[in-house]
Amino acid sequence: MDQPSSLSRIDWVAGSCRLLAATAKEFRETKPFAGLTIGTGIHLEPKTVALLMTLRAGGAGLVCTGNLNSTQPETVDYLRAQGVTVFATQTRDAGEHGVSLDAILAEKPDLLLDNGGDLFVRAAENPYANLLGGTEETTSGRTRLMPMRDKLAMPILVINDSPIKQFAENRHAVGQSLFESYLRFTNRSTNGKRVTVFGYGACGKGTAACFRNAFSSVSVVDIDPVTTLEAHLDGFSTPLREEAIRSADILITVTGYPDIITAADLRLIKDGAILLNGGHFPLEIDVEAFRNSPDVAGIDRYAAEHIETIRMRDGRAFHILGSGHMANLAGPRPLGNSVESMDLGFTLQARCLERVAKGGLGKDACVIPVPKDIDAMVASAYLDLARWPSGGHALANASGNNRS
Ligand SMILES: NC(=O)c1ccc[n+]([C@@H]2O[C@H](COP(=O)([O-])OP(=O)(O)OC[C@H]3O[C@@H](n4cnc5c(N)ncnc54)[C@H](O)[C@@H]3O)[C@@H](O)[C@H]2O)c1
């Protein structure tokens, strides 16, 4: 028997990203990114490593940064040890993060892999000749980039707008991981708790379902009446906004828009309530306004737990997880979305970047969904790997290859 080996979470995740491993195996032969540099601005955590190593297998040079508040130092160390250039600090400060983004663009990467639009917005302001285009991961990024299409005028494929990303990650994985995050931060139960979810898009649907499955009584608030009707017919209660806040033991925002819960709502928040955000930007719950409100008597911070307790002058107190940053990538031992959902989403990323690198997509492809043939290819590949018994062999081979 071999000596037992000591492996890290990065190794565990790499071994679990079976679709990316199979893609990397192909890329080693085809080298779609030979001679190209890819600049990335996406959460630096173990699943991203599996994507970045896949891109590198395809011949890409890499310059990488993360997003606000989600950079994991072990991931940065690992990437640097692999010879990847990383400009990133774990920070909540937009200015400090901006320095890293500028450092990426100063390298003039040929392709950008963006998450939230930070890199493309800057590239639109300071364009450079060799930028071919790239990918944007999120809903929030799409919303930012859409009005800039004329300025950007290059192929940018929006991973979020693939049906696969919508159901595999946003619907199924975000709910699970926000639920896991609530338990991980608080160690409190969900049974019998009243939960209000703001936003009933893909992420909100999964979040509402996960808490209902965990024996909570779930309400939904959405500004769109059609979506609210859908929530109602899905069996969730849909009280008016004030009542939904007033009654909630757990308040979750997952809309993609700022100022969903503001200082004006302080009077409504129930004693003992727990607030968390799953939307991309830490602006959905206006934590800064809470902190500065004259109605607040004091703030207690459980530093290691990343929990802040706001004590009101009228004697109520409530708790905010992760300062309103995406809870599934904040707090103690943040895990993010499930490996399988990210394996699918990141394979879409790799295939879309391959498509842009090949050329053939014009300005009309600026901020468009993932091409349908890529969706079909990725879905078939995942199903092939998942089928039993033949998939079992394919999976074992794919995982083994990832370690080479
Ligand atoms: N935490 C994660 O891991 C993760 C993963 C994927 C996406 N996201 C983020 O989650 C957010 C939501 O994504 P989505 O795909 O569900 O978006 P979506 O566009 O499908 O849904 C958003 C919903 O919020 C509603 N909404 C907008 N303003 C509102 C308001 N003021 N009050 C109540 N409802 C409101 C909209 O009507 C819509 O139904 C985005 O910021 C996205 O980037 C986070």
More confident residue, 154 or 91: 154
Q: How confident is the model over 177-195, as a mean pLDDT?
A: 98
Q: Where are the domains of the chain?
A: 9-161+338-402, 166-329
Ligand 1 centre and the CA of 140: distance in Å?
Answer: 8
| Per-residue model confidence (pLDDT) at position 403 | 38
Structure tokens at 328: 């599934």
CA of 166 to the centre of ligand 1 (A): 11
C-beta 227 within 6 A of ligand 1: yes
pLDDT classification of 386: cutoffs 50, 70, 90:
confident
Answer yes or no: are the C-beta atoms of 359 and 197 closer than 8 Å. Answer: no
Q: Whose CA is nearest to atom 6 of ligand 1?
A: 170
278 lines ligand 1 (CB under 6 A): yes
Kindly state the average pLDDT of the residues 291-318.
98
Q: Is the pLDDT of residue 2 over 90?
A: no
Q: Is the CB of 198 under 6 A from ligand 1?
A: yes
Which residue's alpha carbon is nearest to atom 38 within ligand 1? 201
Ligand 1 contacts CB of residue 228 (under 6 A)? no
Q: How far is CA 85 from CA 38, 109, 163, in A?
A: 11, 12, 32
Q: Which residue has the CA at smallest separation from atom 1 of ligand 1?
A: 278
229 lines ligand 1 (CB under 6 A): no
Probe residue for ligand 1, chosen from 221, 222, 281 as the CB with the greatest number of ligand atoms within 8 Å:
222
- Beta-carbon contacts of residue 247 (< 8 Å; ≥ 6 apart): 194, 196, 219, 239, 270
Asked if residue 278 has pLDDT above 90, the reply is yes
Is residue 400 pLDDT above 50, yes or no?
Answer: no
**Pocket flag, ligand 1, residue 138 (CB < 6 Å):** yes
Q: Is the CB of 202 under 6 A from ligand 1?
A: yes
Position 157 pLDDT exceeds 90 = yes
Q: Which CATH architecture has domain 166-329?
A: 3-Layer(aba) Sandwich (3.40)
Minimum CA distance residue for ligand 1 atom 37: 224
DSSP string, 275-316: EEE-SSSTTSB-HHHHHH-TTEEEEEEEGGGTEEEEEETTS-
CA of 206 to the centre of ligand 1 (A): 11
Contacts of 387 (CB under 8 A, 6+ apart): none
Q: Give the closest residue (by CA) to ligand 1 atom 27.
A: 255
Best mutation site among 170, 205, 337, 340 for ligand 1 pocket (most ligand atoms within 8 Å of CB): 170
DSSP letters along 305-366, please?
Answer: GTEEEEEETTS-EEEEEGGGSBGGGSSSS---S-HHHHHHHHHHHHHHHHHHHH----GGGE
Topology match between the domains 9-161+338-402 and 166-329: yes
DSSP states of 183-242 as a string? HHHH----TT-EEEEE--SHHHHHHHHHHHHTT-EEEEE-S-HHHHHHHHHTT-B---HH
Predicted local confidence at residue 93, as pLDDT? 81
In this prediction, residue 69 carries a pLDDT of 75
Q: Is 55 helix (H, G, I), strand (E, B) or coil?
A: helix
Is the pLDDT score of 392 beyond 80?
Answer: no
- Please work out whether the CB of residue 325 comes within 6 Å of at least one atom of ligand 1: no
In a 3-state reduction of DSSP, which class is residue 43? coil
pLDDT of amino acid 395: 46
- Output the six-digit token pair for 106: 């100063």
351, amino acid identity: R
Amino acid in the structure at residue 248: A
Mean pLDDT computed over 36-61:
96
| Cα 204 to ligand 1 centroid, rounded to whole Å | 7
Please give the pLDDT value at position 390: 60
Ligand 1 atom closest to residue 280's alpha carbon, by position in its atom list: 41
Question: Does the beta carbon of 326 lie inside 6 Å of ligand 1?
Answer: yes
Reported pTM: 0.85
Q: What is the pLDDT of residue 191?
A: 98
Q: 192 Cβ partners below 8 Å, 6+ apart?
A: 215, 216, 217
- pLDDT attached to residue 396: 45
What are 11-26's pLDDT values in tens digits? 999 999 999 999 999 9
CATH number of 9-161+338-402: 3.40.50.1480
In angstroms, what is the span from residue 35 Cα to ligand 1's centroid? 37
- d(CA 118, CA 101) in angstroms, rounded, equals 7
Atom of ligand 1 nearest to the CA of 278: 1
pLDDT tens digits, residue range 218-231? 999 999 999 999 99
- 88 φ/ψ sector (left φ>0, alpha ψ -120 to 50, else beta): beta
> Which residue's CA lies nearest to atom 7 of ligand 1?
170
Probe residue for ligand 1, chosen from 170, 171, 255, 348 as the CB with the greatest number of ligand atoms within 8 Å: 255
What ligand 1 atom has the least distance to the C-alpha of 337?
Answer: 3
